[in-house]
Amino acid sequence: MHVSSTLHYRIAMMHPGSHRFQVRIKWSGPGEFPEQWALPVWTPGSYLVREFSKHVGPVRAASPSKPLAVRKTGKSTWSVDLPEPDAPVTLEYEVYAFELSVRTSYLDAVRGYFNGANVFLYPQTAAPYTIELEVVPAPGWDVATALDRLPQPGFVYAAPDYDTLVDSPVECGMLRRETFTVGGTVHELVLTGLDQIDVSPLLRDLPPIIQAAQDVFGGPLPYDRYVFLVHGAQGTGGGLEHRNSASIIFDRFMLHNPDQYPRVLALFAHEYFHVWNVKRLHPHNLGPFDYQHEVFTTLLWVLEGWTDYYAWILLARAGAVEPTVVLKHFAESLRILDGTPGRAVQSVAEASWDTWIKFYRPDGDSPNSTVSYYLKGALVALFLDLSLRRATAGQSSLDAVMRDLWDQYGDRGYGDGAVEEALIKAGGPIVRQWLEGWAYGTAEWDSQIWADFGLTLTRDFKNPQQAGVFTGIIPERMENGGILIKHVLRGSPAEAAGLGPGDEWIALDTARIRFQDLETRLAQCATGQEITLSIFRNNQLQTYGVVPEPPRPSQWALTRLSASTEKARQQFREWLGAPLP
C-alpha cells in the first residue's frame, strides 16, 4: 500500500500590525522531495493575472542537518536544493497582506483574512501528498473556514488537495457567528466589521433564498456545511465564490437602507448560486486548475452572467423583495447596456474569452470596445428564459436547462458545446438562432416579448425639466470638485469634436463648470446648437466645439401592461413566483 507524503502548512500572525503573515511549510514522509515550488498568479473566480508573488519575501529552506539553497526560477517559481533521502524539509517566508478585497489577503491589528492562492506555495509534482493547515492567529482571535477541523489542539484543518486548500479562505479575528439551517444542513454567518449591526434581516432572508436555489436544481444540498465569511467595510465591496463557502464584503450601512438592501441580498444570492454554477458545474478546464497561466473559456457569460440573473430571480421567488424591485433592476440593466457602444462591437462570448486582458483592466475606451459578460450575460439569460417559456407554452425554461446540465454533468466538467446542447434540447432548433444573435453576435433583443408576461418597457426621464443634452461624455468627479472626462462614447458629439478620456473639463462656453453643476448646465443647452468646452490636456489649455444631441431617457421601467391577459399573468407568476404587480 502506497503511503503519501504530508504537506503541513503553518500560517501565523505574530505581528498583525506589520501586515505580514509568517508561513512555514513542512514536507515529510516517504515521497521524494519536490525540487520545484510555485505560487499561483491568479485565484479561481477572479480572472486576472495578479502576480501574488510580488508580496512574498525571501524563501528559506532547510532540512534537519543543513540549510538548503533556494533559487528564484521565474516570477512565481522557486527551486530548492534536494536534501538527503527521506529527510523532511521546511520552507519559510513572509507574505505582505494589506489589500482589502475578497480575492486577496489582509492583516491588521483587528482582522486577518487570507486566500490560499495568495500565500501558499505548492510543490510542482505529480506525487500524492496529504495537506494539513495550521492557523496561529493573534492572541484571543478565533478562526473560521469551511475546511474540516482536526481533533487536536489549536486550529488545525485537513484539505484533501491543494485545490481545496486555496478554495477555502480563512477569516481570523474577534468573530461574530450566527447560524441557520436549511434542509437539515447548517449554514454559518461569520461576521467581522459588523459590530452592533443587526443582521436579523440576513438571518430571515437567506434561508428562503437558499431554498429557492436548491429548487432550481433539485435534490439535496451538495455540501454538509456552508460558511459565509462576511466583512463590513465602507467604500468597498464584492464577493468571491468557493466550493463550500463565500467571501463577501459590503458597506455595513447598506444593510438597513431599504434602497440598497436588495443589492446586499443579490450579492449573497450570486455567490451562493455558484455552489452549483461554477464550483460544481463548469467547463472542463475550470478545475483542477492551472495556477500559472490564464485559463480561457467563452462561457463566462453563462458562469457569471446566468448566476447574476438568478441572483435577482431568487430574491423574488424567496419573497425577500417585491417583484417590482427585480423588474427595476432588469430595466436599469437594459438602460446601461443600451448606453454602451461596445455592445455592437464585442459579443458576450468574446468578452468571456477576453476577460484576462479587458474586463478587470478597463480604460478610457472600454465602453466603446467591450461589453460586460456579467451585465449582458444576465440579460441574455433573461431573454433566453422568457423566450423558452413563450416558445414552449411554459413547458420549459432556463430552470429546466440548469437542472438538465446538473443531472448530466453533476460534480464534473462539461465540454464547450454542453450548454448549447442543453438549451436546444429545451427549446428546439430556434435556440441556435437566439444564441447566434445574442451570445455569439451583437443582435438586439426581441422587444415584443414583454407583453407575453404582462409587461411593457418604457423609457422616460427622471426629471424632464433637468434633462441635459447628450454629449457622449462620461464624467468623473475630481477631488477638488472638478470634472474629469472618464470616457468619450463612440459615435458621440464629444468624440466627433476630438475630446478624449483624461481631459479635465474646466469651462462650458465662457463659464467655469463644476461637477455638482453639470446636470443643470447641460439642461440649459439646446440640441443642435454648438457649445464650447474648455479643457486641460497634458496641462495645456484647449477648446473644442461640441454640437449636442437630444437628451437620452435616463429612467427605464418594466411595468404592468394595462391590457395584460390571464395567460400573461400566469406566465409571469411561473417565472418570478409572485403575482404580476
Report the distance separating Cα 159 and Cα 166, nearest Å: 9
CA atoms within 13 A on the CB side of 383: 22
Name residue, grid cell 431617457.
Answer: 553
Per-residue pLDDT in tens (0 to 9) along the chain, 581 residues = 456 899 999 999 999 999 999 999 999 988 789 999 999 999 999 999 999 999 999 999 999 999 999 999 999 999 999 999 889 999 999 999 999 999 999 999 999 999 999 999 999 998 889 999 999 999 999 999 999 999 999 999 999 999 999 999 999 999 999 999 999 999 999 999 999 999 999 999 999 999 999 999 999 999 999 999 999 999 899 999 999 999 999 999 999 999 999 999 999 999 999 999 999 999 999 989 999 999 999 999 999 999 999 999 999 999 999 999 999 999 999 999 999 999 999 999 999 999 999 999 999 999 999 999 999 999 999 999 999 999 999 999 999 999 999 999 999 899 999 999 999 999 999 999 999 999 999 999 988 999 999 999 999 998 888 899 999 999 999 999 999 999 999 999 999 999 999 999 999 999 999 999 999 999 999 999 999 999 999 999 999 999 999 999 999 999 999 999 999 999 999 999 999 99
Report the distance separating Cα 404 and Cα 401, nearest Å: 5
Give the type of residue at 238: G
5-173 carries CATH number 3.90.110.10: no
175-266 carries CATH number 3.40.50.10860: no
Q: In this structure, are strands 245-250 and 511-512 parallel, antiparallel, or unpaired?
A: unpaired
From the candidate CATH numbers 3.10.110.10, 2.30.42.10, 1.10.10.10, 2.60.40.10, the one assigned to the domain spanning 464-546: 2.30.42.10
Helix (H, G, I), strand (E, B) or coil at 101: coil
Name residue, grid cell 419573497.
Answer: 319
Second CATH level (architecture) for the domain 276-453+570-581: Orthogonal Bundle (1.10)
**Cell numbers placing 161:** 488537495
Report the distance separating Cα 380 and Cα 37, nearest Å: 42
**Cell numbers placing 521:** 448646465
Report the distance separating Cα 113 and Cα 231, nearest Å: 10
What residue segments make up the domains of the chain, in order of their start? 5-173, 175-266, 276-453+570-581, 464-546
Helix (H, G, I), strand (E, B) or coil at 117: helix
Report the distance separating Cα 239 and Cα 96, nearest Å: 22
Report the distance separating Cα 543 and Cα 75, nearest Å: 46
